[in-house]
A and B are shown apart, each in its own frame.
Chain A
Amino acid sequence: MAENETFFEKLRAFFEEIGEMSRFAGRYFREAVSPPFEFKELLKQCYYMGNKSFFLVGVTGLILGVVFTLQTRPTLEEFGAVAWMPSMISISIVREIGPVIIALICAGRIGSSIGAELGSMRVTEQIDAMEVSGTNPFKFLVVTRITATTLMIPLLVIWGDFIALIGSAFVENIKGAVTFQLYFNQAFNALAFSDLLPATAKTFLFGFAIGLVGCFKGYNSKKGTAGVGKASNSAVVYTSMLLFIIDFIAVFVTDLIYQ
């Protein structure tokens, strides 16, 4: 009985948190469109998020492209279909693997950093200090960060996809003597508008989810240093789960539209 109670209590707490997060998202939309706008802070956040994740996303993209090509090549060789390699790699990376992997990397890099930063600001009363000084901390801290992730994740995904294709082309060039020009001609010929649009659209949702969960967890962090760690950790866990749910819905909707 006690176990049942605990389970239902946990379930209730989970749904309560979903409700609170939805209200938090609603407040974001209300505050994002009402002046004053914190453009300077938004640009600063975009710079930090883009700049600090640029190298990590590049390396991840490169390894992704190289490993994916190396692992796929023997199977395609067996079927005599190596010529399809650029098309297959470009479609799978641009449509699915690139956005999901890079969003997950950014959830770890950016989401946890937002959760920890806002959590520590909450614990050390910096958010209260901002409010007491007559500045809206939600607008300054939350709106700018969620907007920045929504704008920067798509750019980082495009960058990561591009580097992944370069990595793949590099492997093909060494293993199959395929020129870079031929590789990219084939890779881009295989891509249609219906591949690019939904794949890019969902990255905006990924960015929004990373910013929203990180800010929600950090902004509502409980007192104490343990609260900061928990905010940072749960920001990554919740975001990762949310990214897969968004991806599933996006793929499902895209499939319905283009069927």
Chain B
Amino acid sequence: MQSHSKHIPDNAKVVLKIENLFKAFGENKVLNGFSLHLKEGENLVLMGRSGSGKSVMIKCLVGLIQPDSGLIEILGNNISKLEQKEMDELRTKIGFLFQGSALYDSMTVRENLEFPLRRHTKKIATREINELILETLDSVGLKHTVDLMPAELSGGMQRRIALARALILKPKIIIYDEPTTGLDPITSKEIIELMNDIQEKYQTSSLIITHDVDCARVVSNRVILLLDGVNYAEGTFEELTTSNDEKIKAFFK
């Protein structure tokens, strides 16, 4: 797979900013002053060992976990100062792809996509909803699954549907939590290509958490290596893979 990443200008607008984020669970310090910024149109890959605090960080981003201290600014909004209603409004501008897809298993694919749409778009006709659902499913190549239940789909298909659900409200930022984990190499490759296609089509900024070096190579504009809750290294994929630092080298072996 060839890298599709495009150049992001230095003066591009910052859509997501984290500064000095701290989070501990009891004695276990997970984040120790982690910082990052994501620019408009950028694919930023966050890599790190299991337990390095990646998942905690993204849960802090969307308000599922409250950080102990630090600043999180999304699309110019400091999330610690937002009321619940404002936070919910902001969440509609962020798409989140869960590691296990997290499709609502009591609903069909159509209902899964309809769920956020009905709640956050006022005065939208049923015909328009149907068109939007089919268009989004088409963009992930699964238009024919519209009336199936999640249990009837393979792991890769579920991941694509979850991506379609994350895209249905046309978010400005997409957060991918281990998008290729648990998938076979061919399906992983398809998902990686799909991530690039979606970035091009919807012009989103993406924060991608992954262990998959291939995924990082193909989709990233920039990579941050997270170790012990802080940014250990940052740069393009090529810069990190050619680094002489033993810890970085060990990660990309």
Please list the residues of chain A having a beta carbon within 8 angstroms of any beta carbon in chain B.
117, 120-121, 124-126, 128-136
12 cross-chain CB contacts under 8 A: A117-B106, A125-B100, A126-B102, A126-B104, A129-B104, A131-B63, A133-B115, A134-B89, A134-B116, A134-B119, A134-B120, A136-B88
Q: Return the CB mask of B85-108 against A: 1 if under 8 Å, else 0.
A: 000110110101011101111100
Tell me the smallest distance from the CB of B195 to a CB of chain A, in Å.
18
Measured CA separation A121–B115 after assembly (Å): 16
Measured CA separation A186–B106 after assembly (Å): 47
Tell me the smallest distance from the CB of A42 to a CB of chain B, in Å.
15
**B125 at the A/B interface (Cβ < 8 Å)?**
no
A128 to chain B: which residues have CB within 8 Å?
59, 64, 98, 102
**B62 at the A/B interface (Cβ < 8 Å)?**
yes
Of B64, B99, B100, which one neighbours A131 at CB under 8 angstroms? B64
* CB-based contact A124/B91 at 8 Å: no
Please name the residue on chain B nearest to A38 by beta carbon.
B119
* CB-based contact B92/A133 at 8 Å: yes
A128-B98, A133-B96, A133-B165 provided; 17 other pairs, C-beta below 8 A?
Answer: A121-B104, A125-B102, A126-B105, A128-B59, A128-B102, A129-B96, A129-B98, A131-B62, A131-B63, A131-B91, A132-B96, A133-B116, A133-B169, A134-B89, A134-B91, A135-B119, A136-B88
A117 to chain B: which residues have CB within 8 Å?
106
What is the interface residue range for chain B against chain A?
20 to 34
Nearest 3 CB-CB pairings of A with B: A134-B88, A129-B102, A134-B91
* CB-based contact B103/A133 at 8 Å: no
Of B63, B91, B99, B106, which one neighbours A133 at CB under 8 angstroms? B91
Measured CA separation A3–B203 after assembly (Å): 62
B92 to chain A: which residues have CB within 8 Å?
133-134
Given A125-B98, A128-B64, A129-B98, do A135 and B105 touch, yes or no (CB 8 Å)?
A: no
B106 to chain A: which residues have CB within 8 Å?
117
B169 to chain A: which residues have CB within 8 Å?
133
Q: Return the CB mask of B57-92 against A: 1 if under 8 Å, else 0.
A: 001001110000000000000000000000011011
Please name the residue on chain A nearest to B94 by beta carbon.
A132
* CB-based contact A124/B102 at 8 Å: yes
Please name the residue on chain B nearest to A135 by beta carbon.
B119
Measured CA separation A128–B104 after assembly (Å): 11
A135 to chain B: which residues have CB within 8 Å?
88, 115-116, 119
Of A120, A126, A134, which one neighbours B103 at CB under 8 angstroms? A126
B104 to chain A: which residues have CB within 8 Å?
121, 126, 129-130
Measured CA separation A118–B115 after assembly (Å): 18
Measured CA separation A120–B120 after assembly (Å): 26
Please name the residue on chain A nearest to B104 by beta carbon.
A126
Tell me the smallest distance from the CB of A116 to a CB of chain B, in Å.
12
Given A131-B64, A132-B64, A134-B92, do A124 and B116 touch, yes or no (CB 8 Å)?
A: no
Please name the residue on chain B nearest to A117 by beta carbon.
B106
A133 to chain B: which residues have CB within 8 Å?
91-92, 96, 115-116, 119, 165, 169
A120 to chain B: which residues have CB within 8 Å?
105
A136 to chain B: which residues have CB within 8 Å?
88
Tell me the smallest distance from the CB of A35 to a CB of chain B, in Å.
11
A124 to chain B: which residues have CB within 8 Å?
100, 102, 105
B105 to chain A: which residues have CB within 8 Å?
120, 124, 126
B102 to chain A: which residues have CB within 8 Å?
124-126, 128-129
Tell me the smallest distance from the CB of A118 to a CB of chain B, in Å.
11
For A117, A126, A132, which residue has the most chain B Cβ atoms within 10 angstroms? A132
Tell me the smallest distance from the CB of B213 to a CB of chain A, in Å.
25
Measured CA separation A124–B151 after assembly (Å): 13
Measured CA separation A135–B62 after assembly (Å): 13
Tell me the smallest distance from the CB of B90 to a CB of chain A, in Å.
8
Measured CA separation A131–B61 after assembly (Å): 13
Please name the residue on chain B nearest to A127 by beta carbon.
B102
Measured CA separation A132–B116 after assembly (Å): 10
Tell me the smallest distance from the CB of A125 to a CB of chain B, in Å.
4
A132 to chain B: which residues have CB within 8 Å?
62, 64, 91, 94, 96
Tell me the smallest distance from the CB of A251 to a CB of chain B, in Å.
38
Measured CA separation A135–B59 after assembly (Å): 16
B63 to chain A: which residues have CB within 8 Å?
131
Please name the residue on chain B nearest to A133 by beta carbon.
B116
A121 to chain B: which residues have CB within 8 Å?
104
Tell me the smallest distance from the CB of A114 to a CB of chain B, in Å.
12
Measured CA separation A116–B174 after assembly (Å): 31
